[in-house]
Chain A
């Protein structure tokens, strides 16, 4: 039982960030900023919960922080056509610097926040993550917005000739991605009842890897997250029981599998056609 709980614990932030990544990238915006979004989500959640003494308000703060960071990324690369990769990396750097700065400012610490009021159970997050997975799937394939989003990611000019406002659709997707990844970050903070410096610890990149492994589709991306979560939990379990499998090899797993997916193992992973290209109306 505790093993399953461990898997769920690990998978939740991966899945939420990967879902955000899928929405953003299907609309044509590369999202390397997931890492920073998890981090600001965690920080926002912790700060909110600390000052309001209310977990729900903290959660909303975290979601808002995630969306805000992604909007900065979105404005830079959708509205102003900055390179999406550069902008994403800058967002990550911004997240790391800003959370450290405000950690010092708010809590006078370089390591972590004080204990925060958070839910004692992860159940709400599990429910939210599951709901998010199916909602993201439904949104992408079953709604007007989803169809337009996919069109913007594949052929923005075609979408525009039909009156779709490409920049607006992409910005909405990026904001949504921020909210989802922000929620994932809140879980990181709530799980430990505090914010810890750089607590995203590369999870955003694992989520990115899972999203690619899932071929940019929400449900397979979540399945990939679960797979990565299983491997990680198994490794922790083995470690505890004294069976020596090098930690590092398990850590490598998501990255190796992603490379494998890109080289054609299990069907070539191909991203949206217009991924990474800013769209500019004349």
Chain B
């Protein structure tokens, strides 16, 4: 079974000045589980979107089962038996499961849709692969795990035998992840080929036979998981030994600046309590979708918690580095100087704007160092530095930083870490929400672990091990009560 199901040759793609893929090659053998790994922003998603015909490549060739694909398009990909499960589900919430599944390839009888027949066939397909879901329910009423099953069913319904799964576990709960693993094994056992895009190495080691590593848009390694260690793959992904700045000495603890008690928000968070003192960085670890986004928004005063919750802190909003800098952190069509006063425009206005911007640009080494540059034109790292510069220049005593280095280049990440540590040294209370265990261990004095909306453990930062955190985050081990 060494025939290639999919081969990409010399694929390149640039978005303006930003190169997403440069001369990438990828070889997926028929009947294998192949992992495509890389850090955030390494170009994985762009590559599979090219493969599926959603994005035209600037250069390069797509080969499927030994034949070159002349004009790639989603319709062509489907015809070739390629099915894609998108990271952000491509489901129409207002439609029923069966309608979503048949869309684009609808069975008809005398010109009319034949949904009952489709539903019957769908049930058979569900049974065969263990993908239970009611065909007549509306997608908006489904859980995330169920929605993903619908996505996979969509692909199977089209008779795909090459499945492209883009970060399939990012939004799943651990039991759902286990179910998902089982589903993939069943599919591959039944003769399908799977290409899984991920940045979680435990999944790679557990599922994949071979792995291709992307770094900064380029293929840097193609390994067999049986012969490679997780550490080896990690080094290939990162391309450096992570040399994060460390805390300088023990925390000079001050008084409690931020305290939450019994904080609950809908189904996202229940009964979370913790307190952060001045001079410490309190980390919040958790796999995405376990309530940390909601918690950060609530701490910033943007989400109203359920009654009964108690939040105490200094008056005024905390400094807040939001998780989603494109949508929440910045107005991309504003000038840089405008973004540097966004939310502070009541204090900084008129003649004060320009000097404020110039100071921030030089202090944070933001490039280009032009206050009147359009923010959209900046790179991701520089955009994030604009957000960090604005928020930290507030001199608020409490700082909430959510995923502050996600999708940011190494230099910018180091600078952001340095500034957070400086704030700690100044006696601020810092809450750092992150999915990067290395970042948390390097910076935090204490680390709380969120799992399914609960704070399941609070560990001492310096002594917490990667394994311990990983097990707690995935619910594999229950923590001691915080």
Contact = CB atoms under 8 A, between A and B. Distances in A.
Q: Let me know if chains A and B touch directly in the complex, using CB atoms closer than 8 Å.
A: yes
Interface of A: 138, 142-144, 146-148, 150-151, 154-155, 157-164, 272-273, 281-282
B75 A155 contact: no
B111 A143 contact: yes
Interface of B: 52, 54-56, 73-75, 78, 84, 86, 90-95, 99-100, 102-106, 108, 111-113, 154
A155 B52 contact: no
Nearest to A270: B94
A147 B103 contact: yes
Contact of B108 (A144, A155, A161, A281): A144
A154 B94 contact: yes
What DSSP secondary structure best describes chain B's contact surface?
Answer: loop
B74 A158 contact: no
Nearest to A274: B92
Given A150-B94, A151-B95, A155-B93, 11 more contacts: A143-B112, A147-B95, A147-B113, A154-B93, A155-B90, A158-B91, A158-B92, A160-B74, A161-B84, A163-B73, A273-B93
Nearest to A158: B90
Contacts of A159: 92, 103-104
A178 B103 CA distance: 26
A162 to B, nearest CB: 3
Contact of A163 (B78, B86, B113): B78
A281 B54 CA distance: 8
Contacts of B84: 161
B104 A163 contact: yes
A162 B74 contact: yes
Contacts of A163: 73-75, 78, 104-105
Contacts of A161: 52, 54, 74, 84, 86, 90
A147 B106 contact: yes
B90 A154 contact: no
B95 A150 contact: yes
Nearest to A165: B75
Contacts of B95: 147, 150-151, 154
A150 B99 CA distance: 10
B74 A282 contact: no
A164 B78 CA distance: 11
A72 to B, nearest CB: 28
Contacts of B154: 162
Contacts of B56: 282
Contacts of B104: 148, 159, 162-164
8 contacts: A147-B106, A154-B94, A155-B91, A158-B91, A161-B54, A161-B74, A162-B103, A273-B93
B54 A151 contact: no
A100 B52 CA distance: 51
A154 B52 CA distance: 22
B72 to A, nearest CB: 12
Contacts of A273: 93-94
A154 B103 CA distance: 13
Contacts of A143: 108, 111-113
Contacts of A151: 92, 95, 99, 103
Nearest to A163: B75
Nearest to B49: A282
B432 to A, nearest CB: 33
B166 to A, nearest CB: 11
Nearest to A157: B90
A147 B105 CA distance: 11
B281 to A, nearest CB: 39
A147 B99 contact: yes
Contacts of A164: 103-104
A144 B106 CA distance: 6
A151 B102 CA distance: 11
A270 to B, nearest CB: 9
Q: Which 8 A-B pairs have the closest CB atoms?
A: A162-B104, A163-B75, A158-B90, A155-B92, A144-B106, A154-B92, A161-B90, A163-B104
Contacts of B74: 160-163
Q: Which of A138, A148, A162, A164 has the most CB of B within 10 A?
A: A162
Contacts of B103: 147-148, 151, 158-159, 162, 164
Nearest to B154: A162
A207 B301 CA distance: 44
Q: Which of A142, A144, A150 has the most CB of B within 10 A?
A: A144
A77 to B, nearest CB: 21
Nearest to A146: B113
Nearest to A160: B74
A220 to B, nearest CB: 16
A163 B104 CA distance: 6
Contacts of B75: 163
Contacts of B92: 150-151, 154-155, 158-159
B423 to A, nearest CB: 40
Nearest to A156: B92
Contact of A282 (B54, B86, B100): B54
Contacts of A146: 113
Contact of B112 (A142, A155, A158): A142
A144 to B, nearest CB: 5
Nearest to A282: B55
Given A162-B103, A163-B104, A144 B113 contact: yes
